[in-house]
A and B are shown apart, each in its own frame.
Chain A
């Protein structure tokens, strides 16, 4: 999975899909806006979400932000490493700072999400 396959939401989540599993996190832009991240609620495996549902809450020194499920799916894993060191979301938002893995509902359409280039334009606008 390279940068090219990454998709972005208007609410600053990124995700990439491999077979029927989406790995998702907070974008580099969003982590920069939030600043030092100090707590993340570990997303609970087994919970089913509709698109737009709150997946978890990310708390930085200065503010709090919610992370939304971009598509319908079931949480299969939260990134347990974030409980010990949530700052990896700041240092490596697209790698070790991933937040959850979602099993997608069959036939999920991801064509409406932004590509890296489109997202770059979006945040500059």
Chain B
């Protein structure tokens, strides 16, 4: 068939809230999502200093159950799932046989089942990959349409959420989840996020999204809460050096190149991609992700070429102006033998840069909770 499938842009349950808040709405992974409200820099600073509210309902959620669920997911993902106790959350990845990334994901260990949270742009591909690579008693449900997701991030998050729930949040450690009522609605809430700040991600029935969102906006007024769009979500994650699928990770890159061996447990036994990853490490990798800061003025952008002396040694995968540090920062694939002084070709000007260890930003409130 040569007819092209036309998919309408989807709206989350919070779309009207975003419009009412004056959001600049953009299309992202087939969804109409807020890019920013008052501005990326002020939203970014708000999350670093008080609290920001994000609608990330576009993310995909799958529930995997059945007697062979653990075995199946252990084979599909790179991190060690067997040791993940109920109540915990794990960051992991799925790879192809050749070691390239299918996606990165969060896995929630729940009673007799796992919840997988995947990138919106990869949802259909992931579902197909999972379905075609499991065997035995495994049930896979796509619950994305029945799941709203609101993230509350920033040092004031615990205080704000405490006012809306009966549970004692001080007993909920980083990367753990619990069932809790928030603003009188049933939710699954976890102490997780993508910003480097303390915070929570709240999974709810989309019918309850608006009530929960409004309750947060009201409860958090005194603490300085405000809505935050995808623009600041990206600058916040980049200051932490967190990888983004489609930028640092894709089907052509493997965990050792992407600096993601910390979620790749070669000792856990076989999983899809393991042999290729081992081979890759034995042979040695040609390029790997580095973080760099510009010493000159400018903003690195994806695709800009990276030089060491006069040699082209790599390219930028993510780049922005860091609101917290006041300089251009970026991640890029750079030849493995290169460290130290670099330059970035920004529209024909070679701007000085140097490699730095990650994260770029080290003051985040999440560190106090680990």
Contacts and interface: CB of A to CB of B under 8 A. Distances in A.
Q: How large is the interface on B (under 10, 10 to 19, 20 to 34, 35 or more residues)?
A: 10 to 19
Interface of A: 35-36, 38-39, 57, 59, 61-62, 64, 90
B224 interface: no
Interface in B32-61: 35-36, 39-42
Given A61-B231, A62-B231, A64-B301, A38 B347 contact: no
A59 B298 contact: yes
A39 B321 contact: yes
Contact of A59 (B36, B40, B299): B299
Given A61-B231, A61-B321, A62-B231, A39 B40 contact: no
B268 interface: no
Interface in B212-244: 231, 235
Interface string B305-331: 000000000000000110100000000
B297 A36 contact: no
Given A36-B39, A36-B41, A39-B299, A61 B320 contact: yes
Interface string B183-217: 00000000000000000000000000000000000
Contacts of B35: 62
B297 A61 contact: no
5 contacts: A36-B42, A39-B298, A59-B299, A61-B320, A90-B39
Given A36-B323, A39-B298, 18 more contacts: A35-B231, A36-B40, A36-B41, A36-B42, A38-B299, A38-B321, A39-B297, A59-B298, A59-B321, A61-B40, A61-B41, A61-B320, A62-B35, A62-B40, A62-B320, A64-B299, A64-B347, A90-B39
Which of A57, A59, A61, A90 neighbours the largest number of chain B CB atoms within 10 Å of its CB?
A: A61
Contacts of B40: 35-36, 61-62
B323 A61 contact: yes
A64 B36 CA distance: 17
Contacts of A64: 299, 301, 347
Contacts of B36: 35
Nearest to B41: A36
Cβ-closest 7 pairs across A and B: A36-B41, A38-B321, A61-B40, A59-B299, A61-B321, A36-B39, A36-B40
